[in-house]
């Protein structure tokens, strides 16, 4: 393959690329194609033009020669006549069509593309091709589309769920004005449903004929992703259904799913996320089983107890603010100095409770992130049932010989890989667990999450106002892991039991040699509301247990490495 212009005659020689008589309307009725299969000679706005397939982009070159009219007997492209060009990266080319024009002798070649990968503005480029060169043009189009879709199916089929009530309430407009036109320009087949209330999509997914779709596009926030996953999990072919890739088209408050797939900027851009759905390769993601009472459901993102649950669920009335509501809720929670009592049992694989152990944990993470282990979500048989729970449910007793009670502020030094149940008790500011690094564009509490079948847990001990507010510094880069009041664990499973109700004010501490409790006069009455958040959804304030399943879910990605997005410092 050569670049445009190579192989052409020298500047003093005329090379005749095409010739022919012109129709009375000024279009090319007859043209002789070049010998190079990567080039196609066309007419654009009554001027000759050359379409060339380069290594990474379509190159369009034209001339400023006089317009072709019915009096012209032929036209010639000279090397020196190429005075204008534009380059269109293959990754923003959506589709190409060749159609007959009514009452005209020529064919219409239409290229549909985006202005840029992050701009929802569509571009349509139109060229004329002689009808008797239809076969040559079709072969050229196939080569172009092979560049535009090197490893994915064209014209994908999507079931689309749009939640009009999501986030600031702009999902319907985002779909109709930004997303739908892109999917249609790409020739995708769409089956669109607008949700009418809670669990609408969950119920629909239980009976969907998934063989009709290549993926499910979700125009909403993270709540609808959670709902759809749990609808798929209720099917008799649940394991197979959960392998249907989900595409997140951002229309909510945090849009963490898209952020984790693409990046904080691109993950919140509807045009880019449309490209991910249209052209991305399927990618495995970890899911987790949550058992609470007699129920089992699934989480894809995070589980929160304490301050972070309050931030998520206690700010629902401020959805109109977008993701700013989370910052406001965090500041209000820190200033109130709330503390929350719990018992937390974990199957620990790695931990970071000191500067040294956090450094070792980061080093271990970088090794694990490059390991190639068979995905749990792989279908090696026709057993499509959900994976079994290796550690039982929240109603099962923990193995007594492994349950080691430890004070939450003096954790046991568990050797990495020991993986025993270890139980901590005490007051905390928050217990935050996650399967993906980001929970919002500017907050990455789980920088070591890497799709390796483990759950990352960040425990913040009771915080002073200064400690809490200083924790905002570098939160978007994952720096909260290094906060002195944060303990970071990587676990196979965990169980959390709320103990009593949250209190407001300073925490009573042990200060004297007789271990007598010195009570603070600033402890206020219990708080009116208590929250546990699973993927941003409210669940009962009761004990729950979580267990990870590696690679059980699917999404799409444009990342060549096929992994969740992370800044370079955490790779």
Domains of the chain, start order: 39-64+83-148 (2.30.29.30), 152-279 (3.40.50.10330), 286-370+387-503+529-552+559-565 (2.60.200.40)
pLDDT at 319: 56
Write the CA distances from 116 to 89, 93, 101, 155, 260, integer angstroms.
Answer: 9, 10, 29, 20, 21
pLDDT at 398: 87
Inform me whether the pLDDT recorded for 525 exceeds 50: no
Angle at 177 between CA 172 and CA 183, to 5 degrees: 100
**Alpha-carbon distance 176 to 219, whole Å?**
10
Structure tokens, 428: 């905390």
Phi, psi of 411 (to 5 degrees): -65, 150
**Contact indicator for 434, 488 with CB cutoff of 8 Å:** no
Residues whose CB is less than 8 angstroms from the CB of residue 382 and which lie 6 or more positions away in sequence, other chains included = none
pLDDT at 72: 30
pLDDT band, very low/low/confident/very high, at 373 (cuts 50, 70, 90): very low
Inform me whether the pLDDT recorded for 551 exceeds 50: yes
Placement of tokens 């963490």 in the chain: 256
For the chain, what is the total number of helices (H) and then of strands (E)? 12, 26
pLDDT at 70: 30
pLDDT at 235: 97
Would you call 482 helix, strand, or coil by DSSP?
helix
Inform me whether the pLDDT recorded for 523 exceeds 80: no
Write the CA distances from 491 to 210, 402, 416, 456, integer angstroms.
Answer: 33, 15, 10, 6
**Contact indicator for 162, 194 with CB cutoff of 8 Å:** yes
- What is the percent of the chain with per-residue pLDDT over 90, rounded to a whole number? 52
**Contact indicator for 502, 355 with CB cutoff of 8 Å:** no
pLDDT at 355: 83
pLDDT at 119: 85
pLDDT in tens, 163-190: 999 878 899 999 999 999 999 999 999 9
Q: Which residue has the higher pLDDT, 522 or 222?
A: 222
pLDDT in tens, 103-132: 777 899 999 999 998 888 899 999 999 888
First vs last C-alpha separation in the chain: 35
Would you call 412 helix, strand, or coil by DSSP?
coil
Would you call 86 helix, strand, or coil by DSSP?
strand
pLDDT in tens, 431-484: 999 999 999 898 899 999 999 999 999 998 886 665 666 666 777 888 888 888
| Strand-pair category, 106-116 with 532-534 | unpaired
pLDDT at 150: 94
Region 387-399: what's the mean pLDDT?
94
Which stretch of 40-49, 228-237, 296-305, 489-498 has the lowest confidence by average pLDDT?
A: 40-49
| Strand-pair category, 281-292 with 544-557 | antiparallel
- What is the percent of the chain with per-residue pLDDT over 70, rounded to a whole number? 74
**Alpha-carbon distance 375 to 286, whole Å?**
9
Which stretch of 200-204, 361-365, 401-405, 557-561 has the lowest confidence by average pLDDT?
A: 401-405
**Contact indicator for 459, 410 with CB cutoff of 8 Å:** no
Residues whose CB is less than 8 angstroms from the CB of residue 374 and which lie 6 or more positions away in sequence, other chains included = none
**Alpha-carbon distance 95 to 92, whole Å?**
9
pLDDT band, very low/low/confident/very high, at 89 (cuts 50, 70, 90): very high
pLDDT at 308: 83
What are residue 248's DSSP bridge partners?
218
Phi, psi of 531 (to 5 degrees): -130, 145
Structure tokens, 436: 């993906």
Inform me whether the pLDDT recorded for 141 exceeds 80: yes
**Alpha-carbon distance 288 to 435, whole Å?**
8
Q: Which residue has the higher pLDDT, 528 or 538?
A: 538
Which stretch of 1-10, 338-347, 530-539 has the lowest confidence by average pLDDT?
A: 1-10
pLDDT at 370: 44
In this prediction the pTM is 0.83
Which stretch of 278-292, 425-439, 518-532 has the lowest confidence by average pLDDT?
A: 518-532
**Contact indicator for 548, 284 with CB cutoff of 8 Å:** no
- Please count the other Cβ atoms lying within 10 Å of the Cβ belonging to residue 254: 26
pLDDT band, very low/low/confident/very high, at 19 (cuts 50, 70, 90): very low
User: Beta-strand (E) ranges in 221-319?
Assistant: 246-250, 281-292, 295-299, 302-306
Would you call 519 helix, strand, or coil by DSSP?
coil
**Alpha-carbon distance 336 to 506, whole Å?**
9
- CA atoms lying within 13 Å on the CB side of residue 212: 9
**Cβ burial 122-131 (10 Å sphere, 16+ → b, else e):** bbebebbbbb
Region 87-101: what's the mean pLDDT?
95
Inform me whether the pLDDT recorded for 20 exceeds 60: no
User: Beta-strand (E) ranges in 148-211?
Assistant: 157-162, 189-194
Q: Which residue has the higher pLDDT, 374 or 122?
A: 122
pLDDT at 298: 98
pLDDT at 7: 39
In the predicted model, what is the mean pLDDT of the chain?
81
User: Beta-strand (E) ranges in 410-565?
Assistant: 421-428, 430-434, 455-460, 486-498, 503-504, 509-510, 517-518, 532-534, 537-539, 544-557
Region 528-557: what's the mean pLDDT?
93
Q: Which residue has the higher pLDDT, 245 or 570?
A: 245
DSSP assignments along 238-263, one per residue: HHHHTTS-EEEEE-SSS-HHHHHHH-
């Amino acid at each position: 393959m050569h670049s445009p212009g190579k192989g052409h005659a020298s500047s003093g020689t005329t090379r005749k690329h095409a010739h022919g008589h012109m129709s009375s309307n000024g279009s090319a009725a007859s043209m002789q194609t070049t010998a190079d299969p990567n080039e196609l000679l066309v007419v654009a706005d009554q001027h000759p033009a050359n379409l060339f397939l380069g290594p990474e982009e379509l190159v369009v070159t034209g001339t400023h020669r006089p317009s072709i009219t019915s009096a012209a007997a032929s036209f010639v492209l000279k090397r020196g006549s190429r005075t204008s060009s534009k380059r269109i990266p293959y990754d923003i080319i959506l589709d190409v069509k060749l159609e007959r024009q009514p009452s005209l002798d020529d064919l219409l070649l239409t290229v549909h593309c985006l202005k840029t990968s992050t701009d929802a503005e569509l571009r349509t480029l139109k060229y004329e091709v002689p009808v008797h060169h239809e076969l040559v043009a079709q072969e050229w189009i196939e080569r172009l589309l092979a560049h535009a879709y090197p490893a994915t199916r064209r014209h994908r089929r999507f079931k689309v769920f749009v939640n009009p009530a999501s986030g600031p309430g702009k999902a319907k407009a985002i779909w109709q004005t930004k997303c739908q036109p892109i999917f249609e320009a790409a020739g995708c087949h769409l089956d669109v449903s607008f949700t009418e209330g809670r669990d609408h999509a969950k119920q629909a997914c239980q009976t969907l004929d998934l063989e009709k779709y290549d993926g499910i596009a979700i125009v909403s926030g993270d709540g609808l992703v959670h709902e759809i996953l749990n609808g798929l999990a209720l099917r008799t072919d649940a394991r197979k259904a959960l392998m249907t890739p989900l595409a997140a088209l951002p229309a909510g408050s945090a849009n963490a799913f898209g952020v984790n797939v693409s990046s904080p900027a691109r993950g919140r851009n509807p045009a880019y996320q449309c490209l991910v759905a249209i052209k991305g390769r399927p990618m495995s993601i970890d899911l987790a089983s949550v058992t609470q009472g007699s129920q089992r459901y699934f989480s894809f993102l995070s589980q929160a107890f304490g301050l972070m649950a309050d931030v998520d669920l206690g700010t629902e009335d401020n959805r109109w603010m977008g993701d700013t509501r989370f910052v406001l809720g965090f500041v209000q929670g820190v200033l109130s100095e709330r503390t929350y009592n719990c018992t937390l049992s974990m199957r620990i694989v790695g931990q970071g409770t000191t500067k040294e152990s956090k450094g070792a944990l980061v080093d271990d993470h970088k090794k694990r992130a490059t390991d190639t282990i068979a995905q749990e979500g792989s279908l090696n048989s026709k057993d499509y049932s959900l994976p079994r729970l290796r550690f039982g449910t929240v109603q099962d007793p923990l193995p007594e010989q492994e349950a080691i009670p430890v004070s939450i502020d003096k954790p046991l030094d568990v050797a990495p890989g020991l993986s025993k149940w270890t139980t901590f008790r005490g007051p905390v500011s928050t217990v935050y667990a996650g399967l993906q690094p980001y929970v919002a564009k500017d907050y990455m509490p789980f920088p070591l999450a890497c799709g390796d079948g483990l759950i990352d847990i960040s425990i913040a001990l009771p915080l002073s106002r200064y400690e809490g507010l200083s924790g905002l510094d570098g939160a978007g880069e994952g720096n909260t892991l290094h906060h002195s009041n944060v303990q970071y664990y990587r676990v196979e499973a965990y169980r959390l039991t709320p103990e009593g109700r949250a209190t407001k004010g300073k925490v009573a501490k042990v200060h004297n040699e007789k271990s007598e409790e010195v009570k603070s006069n600033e402890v206020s009455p219990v708080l009116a509301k208590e929250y546990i958040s699973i993927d941003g959804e409210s669940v009962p304030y009761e004990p729950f247990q979580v267990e990870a399943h590696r690679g059980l879910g699917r999404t799409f990605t444009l990342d060549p490495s096929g992994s969740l997005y992370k800044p370079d410092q955490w790779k």
